[in-house]
Amino acid sequence: MHVFTDPDNFDAYVSGFLWILKLTGASAVCALVIGVLLAAMRVSPVPVLRGFGAAWVNVFRNTPLTLVIFFCYFGLFATLGLSLSQDLDLNIYWLGVIGLSVYTAAFVCEAVRSGINTVPTGQAEAARAIGLSFAQTLRIVVLPQAARSVIAPLGSILIALCKNATIVGTIGLLESSNIMKDLINSNGDAVIPIFLVFAGTFAALLIPTGYFFGWLANRLAVKR
Amino acid sequence: MRMKRMAAVAAVAGLAVAMTACGGDSDEGNSGTGAGGIVGKAEGQKKLVIGVKADQPGLGLQTGSQYEGFDVEIAKIIAKGLGVEESGIEWKTTVSANREPFIEQGTVDLVVATYTINDERKQKINFAGPYYVAGQDLLVKSDSTLTGPDQLAGKTVCSVTGSTPAKRIQENYPDARLQQFDAYSKCLPLLENGQVDAVTTDDIILAGYAAQDQYAGKFKVVGSTFSDEPYGIGLKKDDTDGCEKVNEILKTAAEDGSYKAAWDATLGKSGTPAPELDTTKLTHCGAA
């Protein structure tokens, strides 16, 4: 464990995982917002919105995340000149958040939509019968019930997102996987311990997350 | 029962490490150096696994399944000197960050990949050579006014994570903003678009990029080197015999003209005359 007792290495290790947490946090919020909006579009009565939602899901769910992230950097930034911060790292960070969000939103959308399908049709029909509009029906009656049934799948998506965040390393952010590579490069004799520490950190972050979402899903489930 | 389970867990973890380290290659375990390092392996199996760069035009560039460049030619000379036919060489792409691990784990037998000899690396592996002495330089747009590393304050410089040039910029020119990727090839479109002001690494590598067809006339190498980068051939730390043998082969190559031929066939095409291989500077293979 001599590798991690060196303060420089330890700081690098901590900063690597801080980037992962920051990427996960910001992307989770954005992806949740976009994903719910997309789900609303996909069940809406307006064909254009339905088409847009379906197109988004089909494009981003079926594109490798590496390519999405690459496009954010080399397309949005390098070619189109979209610069989100003067600071090099922050710029990459926000480009990474964009990529992770649009990608993860596709999965959130599908999870939420499947949740909407668990709400009995009678609920929506009753809402229409008392004169609620589509937006009101969705917001007041359907989505709250749908949300409670998709807590567990959303937890899985969050866990996947956290691990996917390492892909932002390919566009030059010094997150955990790059730090790991760097440490392995300068400590070739301790490859397995370094690997186990990084893998273990992810497990330590994510296993409790999984249990938390399982507990939450149970607690909030709509008992029918 | 418990022990068995733990052993299984350990085995799976070990396997996972091996898979990530070399992209799921199949020849773990039996790619060790055998009796007496590379000399023994070359004689016994008539095979060598050699690590080269895959994205450095003029030095080590992969097109399809072929590798070509000066490093590749040097590697062929060494393999021949060890008695291994060209068909017995298995080329393996190495990037800057995985050269030491590949050597230490035995994934490759030799590394000829723009590999700077330095003391930090010497603690982990053994170096033969140098077969060429490069120097760190800057690649800029042809209309750039940058003339040297002293003007880098506030400018964005692109290099490779964990490489010697990147570390030198961090240490000696902390005012420069350093953008790091896993390959130099990612830096070039950014330089072309102006998002980075310079790409930095060894002059010879930069010259290789500048000479590529798609960038012809767009970039120039500044030409004020600020380091000496003796390129060595990396071997296992304890393989002193192999290292001495490689140095002998290099000496012979300098004398019989095959070194010059290797240069002329690759980097020499840009018009730079072949350098003299200074055989008095060859390493002592850890014996010194």
Hey, is the C-beta of B8 within 8 angstroms of any chain A C-beta?
A: no
Hey, is the C-beta of B101 within 8 angstroms of any chain A C-beta?
A: yes
ipTM above 0.85, yes or no: no
Mean pLDDT for B152-180 is: 87
CA quadruple B199, B205, B211, B215: dihedral, nearest 10: -30
* Percent of all residues in chain A with a pLDDT value above 90, rounded to a whole number: 76
Residue B110 has pLDDT above 60, yes or no: yes
Please tell me which of the candidates A77, A171, A192 has its beta carbon nearest to residue B14: A192
- Record: contact A186-B162, CB cut-off 8 A: yes
Residue of B nearest to A192 (CA): B17
Residue B95 has pLDDT above 90, yes or no: no
Count Cβ neighbours within 10 Å for each residue of B187-213 and write b for 16 or more, e otherwise: bbebbeeebbbbbbbbbbbbbbbbbee
Residue B17 has pLDDT above 70, yes or no: no
B58-66 long-range contacts, CB within 8 A, separation 24+:
B58/B204, B58/B205, B58/B207, B58/B208, B58/B211, B58/B266, B58/B267, B58/B269, B58/B270, B59/B114, B59/B204, B59/B205, B59/B208, B59/B266, B59/B267, B60/B112, B60/B113, B60/B114, B62/B93
Residue B20 has pLDDT above 80, yes or no: no
Contact residues on chain B for A82, CB-CB shorter than 8 A: none
**CA atoms of A161 and A103, how far apart (whole Å):** 9
Mean pLDDT for A32-36 is: 97
**Quick check: A3 and A183 in contact, CB under 8 A?**
yes
Using alpha carbons, select from A110, A122, A109, A116 the residue that is nearest to residue A138: A116
Containing structural domain, residue A22: 2-220
- Record: contact B13-A192, CB cut-off 8 A: yes
A139-153, B54-68, B214-228, B269-283: the lowest-pLDDT one: B269-283
Hey, is the C-beta of A185 within 8 angstroms of any chain B C-beta?
A: yes
Q: Please tell me the predicted confidence (pLDDT) of residue B32.
A: 42
Q: Specify the amino acid at residue A126.
A: A
Higher pLDDT, B279 or A117: A117
Residue A61 has pLDDT above 80, yes or no: yes
pLDDT band for position A72 (cuts 50, 70, 90): very high
Q: Please tell me the predicted confidence (pLDDT) of residue B25.
A: 41
Q: Residue B28 is encoded by which pair of tokens?
A: 């773990």
Q: Please tell me the predicted confidence (pLDDT) of residue B265.
A: 85
pLDDT band for position A198 (cuts 50, 70, 90): very high
Indicate the average pLDDT of chain B.
82
Q: What pLDDT digit, counting tens, does each position of B23-40 carry?
A: 434 443 444 444 458 888
DSSP string, chain B: -HHHHHHHHHHHHHHHHHHHHHTS-S--STTS--TTHHHHHHHHHS-EEEEE-SEETTTEEEETTEEESHHHHHHHHHHHHTT--GGGEEEEE--GGGHHHHHHHTS-SEEEEEEE--HHHHTTEEEEEEEEEE-EEEEEETT----SGGG-TT-EEEEETT-HHHHHHHHH-TTSEEEEES-GGGHHHHHHHTSSSEEEEEHHHHHHHHTSGGGTTTEEE-----S-EEEEEEEETT-HHHHHHHHHHHHHHHHHTHHHHHHHHTGGGGTPPPPP--GGG---TT--
- Record: contact A181-B180, CB cut-off 8 A: no
Residue of A nearest to B195 (CA): A78
Q: Please tell me the predicted confidence (pLDDT) of residue B30.
A: 42
Q: Please tell me the predicted confidence (pLDDT) of residue B271.
A: 66
Residue A108 has pLDDT above 80, yes or no: yes
Q: Please tell me the predicted confidence (pLDDT) of residue A185.
A: 74
**Quick check: B203 and B135 in contact, CB under 8 A?**
yes
Q: Where in chain B is the domain with CATH 3.40.190.10?
A: 35-133+230-281, 136-221
Hey, is the C-beta of A93 within 8 angstroms of any chain B C-beta?
A: no
pLDDT band for position B203 (cuts 50, 70, 90): confident
Residue B49 has pLDDT above 70, yes or no: yes
Contact residues on chain B for A192, CB-CB shorter than 8 A: 13-14, 17
Nearest-CA distance from B169 to chain A in Å?
Answer: 16
Mean pLDDT for A62-79 is: 92
A28-37, B36-45, B62-71: the lowest-pLDDT one: B36-45
Structurally, how many domains does chain A consist of?
A: 1
Higher pLDDT, A199 or B63: A199
Q: Look at the domain B35-133+230-281 and name its fold.
A: D-Maltodextrin-Binding Protein; domain 2 (3.40.190)
For domain B136-221, which architecture applies? 3-Layer(aba) Sandwich (3.40)
